[in-house]
């Protein structure tokens, strides 16, 4: 006989009637009660969201990560796109932190939009750095604004987007999407 003990109430569970999770075994009533408590907690993750805080946190994370990518490029003189993946992660972390730990579909959507914007800004700043360096090296007078205009994006940045830019953007967007995704319960095996 292989009876087990419920990890919650310590009662003996007859063989084959307990519910096993990754780390414990529960009797039916304890498992149902714990599941109910968890479901109530998970229902709260998408309620009373501080959207202004989430947006501020996402923008702060995105601009900080974009600045890190840009700074890395200035210091190393190498445009290493893999650093750009940090943008999606930082945006998602900022959103979750400043929304009060909330997770919901609208936060995922905001995270993706901010990540796209931040990636675009970082791409502009990195390219701006190389263009200004080229201009200085070749005695060409002029300057580029710290903030791009739409014409510059459509005439210079977008046409020069390469396959690796798309790959790194996709990874950054995936990080942004999964970061504030709601936590869901899975059924035990």
Tens of pLDDT, residues 87-114? 999 999 999 999 999 999 999 999 999 9
Residue among 70, 81, 59, 71 at smallest CA distance from 166: 81
Provide the whole-model pTM: 0.77
Average pLDDT over residues 176-186: 88
Per the CB < 8 A criterion, the answer to whether 28 and 17 are in contact is yes
- The answer to whether residue 188 scores a pLDDT higher than 60 is no
Segment 127-139 shows an average pLDDT of 87
Which residues is 20 bridged to in the sheet?
25
Residue 91 has a pLDDT of 97
CB-based contacts of 150, cutoff 8 Å, min separation 6: none
Q: Is the pLDDT of residue 175 over 90?
A: yes
pLDDT band at 132 (very low <50, low <70, confident <90, very high): confident
Whole-number average pLDDT of the chain: 86
Nearest to 7 by CA among 39, 34, 36, 41: 34
CA distance 93 to 74: 25
Indicate whether 117 pLDDT > 80. yes
Looking at residues 152-166, what average pLDDT do you find? 73
């Amino acid at each position: 006989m292989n009876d087990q003990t419920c990890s919650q109430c310590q009662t003996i569970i007859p063989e084959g009637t307990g519910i096993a999770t990754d780390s414990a075994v529960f009797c039916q009533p304890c498992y149902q009660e714990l599941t109910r408590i968890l479901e109530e907690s998970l229902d709260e993750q998408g309620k009373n969201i501080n959207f202004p805080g989430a947006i501020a946190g996402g923008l702060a994370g995105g601009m900080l990560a974009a600045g890190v990518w840009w700074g890395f490029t200035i210091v190393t003189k190498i445009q290493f796109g893999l650093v750009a993946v940090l943008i999606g992660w930082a945006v998602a972390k900022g959103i979750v932190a400043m929304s009060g730990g909330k997770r919901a579909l609208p936060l995922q959507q905001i995270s993706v939009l901010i990540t796209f914007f931040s990636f675009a800004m970082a791409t502009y700043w990195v390219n701006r750095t190389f263009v200004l360096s080229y201009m200085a090296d070749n005695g060409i007078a002029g300057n580029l604004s710290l903030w791009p205009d739409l014409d510059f994006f459509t005439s210079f940045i977008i046409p020069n987007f390469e396959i690796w830019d798309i790959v790194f953007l996709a990874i950054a967007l995936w990080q942004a999407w999964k970061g504030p995704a709601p936590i869901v319960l899975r059924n035990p095996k």
